[in-house]
Amino acid sequence: MKVTTQDLEIISEQLGRKPDGVCEISVRGKDQRPIVIRVSPIVRGKPFPNLFWLTDPIIKKEIDKIESSGLIKTLENELIPNDIDLKEKLISDHKRYIKLRMNYIEADSQLEDVSPVYIEALKTKGVGGLSDYSRVRCLHMHFAHYLVDGNCIGEWIDKKYDISRLL
């Protein structure tokens, strides 16, 4: 969805600063407020690890609470290693994220002036810039990805904590 001047003002207010590289509003709330934005994979000539950025302060605060409870450590140390299906879905999500990122880059013809080192990073780094696809860096990124394109960690969070009620 196209980004208007009013959208940018709302997003700046939500984040407490003007964001760089906003390409579109990927998800809006029932009241049309921005929930998730898509950010250019290349910002100021460098790779940007967040393709999808959760901007809604209410949802961010809920996920902050969940993240501060130690859920990432629990996911990485207990759930993912012991649930082969979840691990395979997570790996698939990282790979799908990379493919989606590269599709956006190619569609926008953004590779011309980008360092080959950065291009390689963009082709190999998953959600949040991770190289190890069995890891989780940030629940906010996974939840944003879930709302836009599906993501097993975001879906798991939503089922357990019913975050979608806040949309």
Per-residue model confidence as pLDDT tens digits over 34-76: 999 999 988 887 888 789 999 999 999 999 999 999 999 999 9
What predicted TM-score, i.e. pTM, was given to this entire model?
0.94
Q: What are the structure tokens assigned to 20, written together?
A: 């760089």
Average pLDDT of span 152-156: 98
Higher-pLDDT residue of 108, 89: 89
Q: Is 162 helix (H, G, I), strand (E, B) or coil?
A: coil
pLDDT, tens digit, for every residue of 15-37? Answer: 999 999 999 999 999 999 999 99
Residue 47's beta-bridge partner residues? 42
Domain enclosing residue 108, as ranges: 5-166
- What local confidence, expressed as pLDDT, does residue 110 receive? 62
Q: What are the structure tokens assigned to 167, written together?
A: 């949309």
Q: What are the structure tokens assigned to 152, written together?
A: 């097993």
Return d(Cα 140, Cα 147) in angstroms, integer. 11
Residue 54's beta-bridge partner residues? 36
Are 153 and 140 in contact by the 8 Å Cβ rule? The answer is no
pLDDT, tens digit, for every residue of 81-98? Answer: 999 999 999 999 999 999
Say if residue 111's pLDDT is above 80: no
Residue 43 DSSP class: E
The count of domains in the chain is 1
